[in-house]
Amino acid sequence: MHPNWIMQRASLTPERIGLSFGTQQWTFQQLHEEASSIAQKINTLGLRRGERVALLAPSIPELIMVIYGCMHARLEMVMLNGRLSEQELAYQVEDADVKAIFVQDQELHKLQPDDRIIPFSKLQQVEVANVEIEQEWDEQDTITIMYTSGTTGFPKGVRQTVGNHSASAISSVLNLGLVERDTWLCIVPIFHISGFSILVRSLLYGMTIRLYEKFDVVSCAAEIIDGTVTKMSVVAVMLEHILSELERLQQKAHPNFNAILAGGGPIPVDYLQRAAKLHLPVSQTYGMTETSSQTATLANEDAFKKIGSSGKPLFFNRIKINKANEADREGEILVRGPHVTPGYIGRFKNKPSTENGWLHTGDIGYLDEDGYLYVVDRRSDLIISGGENVYPAEIENVLLAHPAVKEAGVCGIADEKWGQVPVAYIVLKENVDKECILDFCKTKLANYKIPKEIVFVAQLPRNGSNKLMRRKLKEIK
């Protein structure tokens, strides 16, 4: 059993600031009281422990209050990505079979009409029903469900339990350390595991979250320079913007600032070199939705000794390379540990998440003779655009639904701003212009998944089994 994190934190450090947003701030006691009120309103609505709800809102304090309220009420939360299309969101809501959908009022237009929708404004108006908040949680209970795109083109709902989140947070602090008045600058979306994991760390560590609704490079740079924050999580494109802003201002990071966790793909060596000059300690990390954030992290002091590495597995975690009996032998990365999901929901509820206790990541990599992980290819065909995972199969499925498209293949190409962007290669059944296809995609895909270029070709590269060879698409002239 685990103590109720919110209640326990409020008991231990009630007057410590738990959340800061703009000029507003809340103590852990205030967060607990607000969450308790929301939990009681949830009870009035007839929602009970173990039932599933969906949440759709940007990264604002109101979302955190609702999240903590749902945790008090012991509900399973499906974290919806507001960047997805209406059709994509509808799939996740139906696949998860939720009882209610809590939505910030300004986000209502993103959803199809549904009787289960409860705007945040309506939730606040619900009468409070007296209900006792449970003081203990079972580590096997699911807290969050986050959808990750699959190679089949159908997103999978990944379960993350009390035990998963707790193991991830503890492993992280054993690696990064904890200092008095630590403050984590949260600029990554809370609906992503990178964002939600910051909430968990805050409750377990007693750490302040400095929350931003969106990434604001000017404000973030100012916080780093002034030393008002000590840690943050970024993807490569965010890191580059911060570096450029500090360089423009000819300023360095404050001595209080002690760690940047950089994930979502490899960090260019040039970024690391620039960061070192600015006194920005960057720790490259490797993880996924199925591992509740980090699995391996490269310590800042190893950044140049082990260039290109994602580091060693964190304390409770294990990594091995499938069928590799020696160092530097490439193969599929396998992961084991208490942070690994126990399984999926909906369409994939019967799909095992592990084999003999090991999660098969689908990523290709190797361990060097010192045990440092190097990721060679993330899920082979995966496109990482601005830190977002984009699977070619998902885009191809949409393209193939267009009546003029006979065949479609998608791959990622390098992009200076986003790291990678998707490009589509299409064999037509009938003449159609590129804009028509792009307009079709815009109704079914999130903006970051829409191909940045359409290339019409006579045929697609295939192997002897007639399977599409995506890695050969870039060679088409």
pLDDT tier at 477 (50, 70, 90 boundaries)? low
Task: Residue 46: give its domain's CATH number.
Answer: 3.40.50.980
- Residue 145 covered by a domain: no
Model pLDDT, residue 221? 98
In this structure, the answer to whether residues 189 and 47 fall within a common structural domain is: no
- Residues of the chain with pLDDT > 90, as a percent, come to 79
The pTM assigned to this predicted structure is 0.87
- Residue 159 covered by a domain: no
In this structure, the answer to whether residues 117 and 180 fall within a common structural domain is: no
Measured CA to CA, the distance from residue 25 to residue 23 in angstroms comes to 7
**Tens digits of residue pLDDT in 298-309:** 987 888 889 889
AA identity, residue 217: V
Measured CA to CA, the distance from residue 293 to residue 176 in angstroms comes to 14
Task: Residue 409: give its domain's CATH number.
Answer: 3.30.300.30
- Residue 50 covered by a domain: yes
Measured CA to CA, the distance from residue 58 to residue 43 in angstroms comes to 24
Cβ atoms of residues 329 and 366 within 8 Å:
yes
Cα–Cα distances in angstroms (integers) from residue 296 to residues 9, 212, 320, 329, in the given order = 27, 26, 12, 18
- Residue 87 covered by a domain: yes
In this structure, the answer to whether residues 322 and 346 fall within a common structural domain is: yes
Instruction: Tokens for 116, please give them.
Output: 């289960």
Model pLDDT, residue 243? 95
**Tens digits of residue pLDDT in 16-73:** 999 999 999 999 999 999 999 999 999 999 999 999 999 999 999 999 999 999 999 9
Model pLDDT, residue 470? 86
Question: What is the residue-averaged pLDDT of the chain?
Answer: 93
In this structure, the answer to whether residues 205 and 72 fall within a common structural domain is: no
Cα–Cα distances in angstroms (integers) from residue 213 to residues 8, 63, 107, 111, in the given order = 27, 11, 14, 20
Last-in-domain residue among 89, 114, 137: 137
In this structure, the answer to whether residues 227 and 366 fall within a common structural domain is: yes
Last-in-domain residue among 118, 137, 156: 137
**Tens digits of residue pLDDT in 214-247:** 999 999 999 999 999 999 999 888 998 999 999 9
Last-in-domain residue among 377, 409, 438: 377
Tokens 């065909």 identify what position?
381
Domain membership of residue 465 as a residue range: 383-475
Closest CA to 59 of 184, 188, 182, 145: 188
pLDDT tier at 463 (50, 70, 90 boundaries)? low
Q: CB burial class (10 A; 0-12, 13-18, 19+) of residue 267?
A: buried
Model pLDDT, residue 151? 57
**Tens digits of residue pLDDT in 253-291:** 999 999 999 987 778 777 888 999 999 999 999 999 999
- Residue 158 covered by a domain: no
**Tens digits of residue pLDDT in 179-213:** 989 999 999 999 999 999 999 999 999 999 999 99
- Residue 423 covered by a domain: yes
Model pLDDT, residue 466? 56
In this structure, the answer to whether residues 365 and 415 fall within a common structural domain is: no
Q: What is the DSSP string of 98-127?
A: -SEEEE-GGGGGGS---TTEEEHHHHHHSP
Length of the chain as a residue count? 477
In this structure, the answer to whether residues 108 and 217 fall within a common structural domain is: no
- Residue 24 covered by a domain: yes
In this structure, the answer to whether residues 115 and 184 fall within a common structural domain is: no
In this structure, the answer to whether residues 356 and 434 fall within a common structural domain is: no
How many Cβ atoms sit within 10 Å of the Cβ of residue 355? 10
- Residue 297 covered by a domain: yes
Contact partners, residue 117, CB within 8 Å, separation at least 6: 100, 101, 103, 108, 111
Model pLDDT, residue 150? 60
Measured CA to CA, the distance from residue 328 to residue 180 in angstroms comes to 40
In this structure, the answer to whether residues 349 and 407 fall within a common structural domain is: no
In this structure, the answer to whether residues 387 and 373 fall within a common structural domain is: no
Model pLDDT, residue 359? 97
Question: How many structural domains does the chain have?
Answer: 3
Task: Residue 281: give its domain's CATH number.
Answer: 3.40.50.12780
In this structure, the answer to whether residues 25 and 63 fall within a common structural domain is: yes
Q: Please give the DSSP secondary-structure letter assigned to residue 468.
A: B
**Tens digits of residue pLDDT in 164-180:** 999 999 999 999 999 98
Model pLDDT, residue 467? 65
